[in-house]
Each structure stands twice: as C-alpha cells, then as structure tokens.
Structure 1
C-alpha cells in the first residue's frame, strides 16, 4: 500500500484535536504546537487546573497561531465533549489496561475511518510528562494507542518525550491512506451525549440499589468504560435515555404505591 499525504484532506485533518492533559512544561507544549503546524493540524486543547505559561513556549517556531487559538479546559469531559472518538496514548509499562489497545498503525486506521465517516471530532489524548494519563482520565477513552519502541534489557519501560510522541502520531496520520466514507454509516454519539447517558445510567443503578448490592462494579470509571464499549450511535442516545427515564419512573411509582 502506498502512503501519500495528499490522500488525507485538510477537511479530515481539521476534525482531529490534540488534547494535552496536565502538561506543564512550556517547551513541551511548544514542541507539540510546532509538530501540529508542520503536519497540518490546527486544534490544540489543554486540560489543566492552572493556566499553562504558553508565552514561554519558545520551541513553538512558526506555530504561534496554534498556541494563540489553543483552548483551555478544567476537565477532560469538557475538552472532549464534541468528540465521537477519544483515543488515549500510553507507554503501557506495567499498568493493567481496561481498554482495547492498538499499535499506532492500527489506531491510525481507526481514527481515519472515524473522521471520514463522522461529522464530529476525534480527540488524541496525551498525559502529563511524568505520569501519563490517570485511570480516571483513561476512562473517557474508547481505546488506547501505543508507539512500539525498542525495549532494552535492565531498563525501565521506554517512553517518549511529549513533543516527540505527538509528532510521531500526527505523522502517521498524514502518511497513511485514509479509509473513505461508506454510504449509510450512522453517526457516533458525541462525548457530551455519552456523558449524559452515563449520568442517567448511574442514577438508575443507584435507585434500583444495584450499586449497593454490587459496589465493586460501580465506580464512575467502570460505568463509563461499560457505556463506551456499547458504541452508542447518536440516533440511539435519546431512545436509551427514554428507556432509562421510564425505568426510573416505574421504580418511583412502585415505591409511592408501596
């Protein structure tokens, strides 16, 4: 298979957003912005409780516009609200994973398929330079990708610098032939719609006392992962929300009658 940058249109690239979670080093953020500029990506989102010092990002050569237009969010949920696919990045290491894990080349096909067939955005999540993405942050992801690296004996699991990792992922996206839209593909639910469903589903579990009887299955992260594995379609969300609301109404009616 040949790989041509021309195969991936600017319109498709424009649906990919890079989300940096708890990134603090301005030079790393600058390197990310430079990689985005070089490969044709525009949308940078930063999740942090504190405003990152973007003015100190000296490594963002020719990428001032990307830094200037970067959006800041307090939570991951806010940053990915308009996304139909959220892909987290991980060096794996010794962490026990609860998500499908793809090598970068496999994940690239999944991402390009999504941007070709959907109107929403795809989020690429990158964690902090020191700790990566936390389990709570990973719970918002549909799947994970990892960049295969050479493992040397008697050394800790290798990981990439943040700017390098973003550059490698974006390069793989522009070099791989896209999977073009097929007719009849249904639109995936956006993250904000999924999150509303998660909240209502959790309420049903509480009212039905499932959470009391099975607390080990009911952490917020577990429920969110369970819902994401359903692969909700946008058209199905209001139907499922109606089902759950009817269940709540029925439980309350029976309680009132008793």
Structure 2
C-alpha cells in the first residue's frame, strides 16, 4: 500500500519543489499533481536532493481521475478554515489525531493539499474521508502549504515507524468501505430527510467510515446490520 502526496492545481512550480523536499525528509516518495502549472527550473532547484520526486511526479486532470486510478482507500485533506459542529463538511481532526489512526501498510492513502492562497473547494472537501487542521496563532493563522505539509508528514512518520502486531489481519479496503457508504446512502434516500440534511448525513457517515480502522469481520457485521435496516424500511413502506 502507498501514501500519495497530492498537490491540487499548484500555481507556482517552486512550491512543487519545496513540497518534494519536505516529502523526502519524511520518506514519502509518490507525488501527484492535479492540473499543475508548468514545471520550471525552480521546481527542481527548490527540491534540492528530492529532484527525482519532481521528475517522477504523476499528473492528472482531475481529482476524481486520480482517486479512481489509484484505488484510494482513504483521502485526507488539509484546511486552514475548519468549521464548527454544525458545518459538517468542515469538521476536522488535528494532525496528531490523524497520525495516530493512519495505517499505510493496509491502505492506499491520499494526502491532499490545495491551491496556494485558495486551498481546497467545498466540493473537493466533500470527497474526502478525513479533514485535518493545524492549530495556529490567531495573529497569523494561515500557514504556507509546505510548512503545513511538513507537520502532517512528521505526524505520519512518527506514528508509522513501528511494526504492526498482526500482519495478516483482514482490513477493509476502498471497495469494502464504498459498500458501507452506498448502504447508508440507500437508507437516507428512504427517510423523510430534506435534500440538504440527507447530504449532510452522508458526508458525516463517509467521514466516520473513512477515519475508522475497520476489520473485514467488523465490516461484514455492519453491512448485515445496514441491509436489515434497509429491508425493514422497505417492508414498512409497502404496508
């Protein structure tokens, strides 16, 4: 399994080089660029000893194309403007909380970093399983993208430099989790939720499932439960 560092629509090639340099500091090797600016000499200059990461970077036109192509199990996005409890698409966890839960040995993980200055759009954030924010001083709360990336990379590196105790554990993959999300979607469509509420519930469920470390047995049990709920609702509606 793999961790991909994904830079969405970078505007300056120098920042691509800086990001590659940060990646190499913490042993990350897969750089993905979504609809990037033209790569110039400063990308390679700023990368220093990580030039090969820039040279080997893969380019995609859209985020959806990348997620489907690499069969991403967990998508983690960063934001400098988190929301509160009633802004579900922007409810975040901290970088340290994210680092404690991540398991790259069992998952294909995408770390999303947005455009310089603009960040990721609400639509892009809604595609993500986990949202991460880094607490900063109110005097200057917005971080440079490569500074934020370094903190995220450090938390992952710190928590993954160990051997997991059960190597053969059956862990739910991307397709397994999609089955749970689809089951919840089917249930919410049958309930009397307004459209906006249904969307919020589905995003919330997707985030919880995305953050969760789910074994195959746990997933099958949850899927059976959701299928029973779905069937009960259908029977009730037919009466």
Q: Note closer, same or farther for the CA distance 1:177–1:119 as it changes in structure 2 (3 Å cut).
A: closer
Q: CA deviation at 1:66?
A: 0.8
Among 147, 153, 170, which residue is 1:186 paired with? Answer: 170
Q: Could you tell me how far apart the structure 1 residues matched to 2:194 and 2:11 are? A: 39
Q: Could you tell me how far apart the structure 2 residues matched to 1:77 and 1:233 are? A: 26
Q: CA deviation at 1:204?
A: 7.6
> Any idea what SS the aligned residue of 2:73 has?
strand
Partner of 1:3: none
Partner of 1:217: 197
Q: Could you tell me how far apart the structure 1 residues matched to 2:96 and 2:158 are? A: 10
Q: CA deviation at 1:93?
A: 5.3
| Aligned Cα root-mean-square deviation (Å) | 3.8
Contact 1:140 1:225 in 2 (8 A): no
Q: Could you tell me how far apart the structure 2 residues matched to 1:193 and 1:43 are? A: 24
Q: Note closer, same or farther for the CA distance 1:92–1:52 as it changes in structure 2 (3 Å cut).
A: same
For normalisation by structure 1, the TM-score amounts to 0.67
> Any idea what SS the aligned residue of 2:47 has?
coil
Contact 1:30 1:54 in 2 (8 A): no
Q: CA deviation at 1:135?
A: 1.8
Q: Could you tell me how far apart the structure 2 residues matched to 1:199 and 1:93 are? A: 26
Please say if 1:53 is aligned against 2:42. Answer: no
Q: How does 1:220-231 map to 2 (within 5 A)?
A: 223-230=202-209, 231=212
Gaps of 5+ in 2: none
Among 60, 72, 81, which residue is 2:59 paired with? Answer: 72
Q: How does 1:1-258 map to 2 (within 5 A)?
A: 15-48=2-35, 51-56=36-41, 57-58=43-44, 59-81=46-68, 82-92=71-81, 96-98=87-89, 101-111=92-102, 114-115=103-104, 118-152=105-139, 158-176=141-159, 178=161, 180-183=163-166, 185-190=169-174, 194=177, 214-219=194-199, 223-230=202-209, 231=212, 236=219, 240=223
Gaps of 5+ in 1: 1-13
Partner of 1:5: none
Q: CA deviation at 1:26?
A: 1.0
Q: Note closer, same or farther for the CA distance 1:133–1:173 as it changes in structure 2 (3 Å cut).
A: same
For normalisation by structure 2, the TM-score amounts to 0.72
Q: Note closer, same or farther for the CA distance 1:173–1:205 as it changes in structure 2 (3 Å cut).
A: closer
Q: Note closer, same or farther for the CA distance 1:129–1:74 as it changes in structure 2 (3 Å cut).
A: same
Partner of 1:6: none
Q: Note closer, same or farther for the CA distance 1:141–1:71 as it changes in structure 2 (3 Å cut).
A: same
Bigger proportion of residues as helix: 2
Q: Note closer, same or farther for the CA distance 1:71–1:177 as it changes in structure 2 (3 Å cut).
A: closer
The size of the alignment, in residue pairs, is 226
Q: Deviations over 1:186-240 (max 9, x none)?
A: 31321x665576568657866x5x5x86322344x75344234245666748x95
Deviating more after overlay: 37-46 vs 58-67: 58-67
